[in-house]
Amino acid sequence: MKKIAILIVLLISASSCISTKSTLKNVDDNAPDLILKKDNTFSITQFAKDKKYGYDPDYPINIFFQNTNNEALNETRFLNALAGPNGEKITYSRLETCCPFPTKRSNMGAGFLNVYELKWDGQKKPVKLYLNIYEKGILMVPVGLRLK
């Protein structure tokens, strides 16, 4: 009896880690396809008004572009289009992968967010952005940043 109880607890614990409902709030499958500029960055024409956009894992920057075979390429296409709040040149590095969510655009049936740290001269504290290569959304410049 004790073994069955342990097995039930293990099954409940394991299943609670897997969510079948996405927590992402800004997925838009009707968003226009992303456009590449001649300098191999994404063409971005809108600026976010929501301070959560890109800074909160539930409101990631959705950069799905035709395929997800080379995630770093699409992420750099976005990040290289950005500048600091006064036009400063930014540097960035990938910190981690986090926050699994269900998606139909992955062979695994799940996607992950990549977290990047952005820095520029004169900055007091580095900025963290959450990028999602699996889903579509309106591509915007996050609050506090500019276009290069």
Share of the chain above pLDDT 90, in %: 66
Q: Is residue 120 part of a domain?
A: yes
> pLDDT for 88-121, tens place per residue?
999 999 999 999 999 988 888 899 999 999 999 9
Q: Is residue 16 part of a domain?
A: no
Residue 67 has what pLDDT? 58
Residue 141 binned pLDDT confidence (cut-offs 50, 70, 90): very high
Q: Is residue 4 part of a domain?
A: no
> pLDDT for 15-57, tens place per residue?
444 456 788 999 998 999 888 899 999 999 999 999 999 999 9
Which runs of E-coded beta strand occur in the chain?
A: 46-47, 61-62, 82-83, 91-102, 110-119, 127-132, 140-141, 146-147
Mean pLDDT of 59-87: 87
- Counting the structural domains of the chain, the total is 1
Q: Is residue 3 part of a domain?
A: no
Residue 72 binned pLDDT confidence (cut-offs 50, 70, 90): confident
> pLDDT for 2-19, tens place per residue?
444 443 433 444 444 445
Q: Is residue 69 part of a domain?
A: yes
Q: Is residue 96 part of a domain?
A: yes
Q: Is residue 132 part of a domain?
A: yes
Domain of 82?
23-147
Q: Are 46 and 138 in contact (CB under 8 A)?
A: yes
Q: Is residue 9 part of a domain?
A: no
Helix residue ranges per DSSP H, 39-145: 71-79
Rounded Cα distance, 85 and 11, in Å: 48
The pTM for the full model equals 0.83
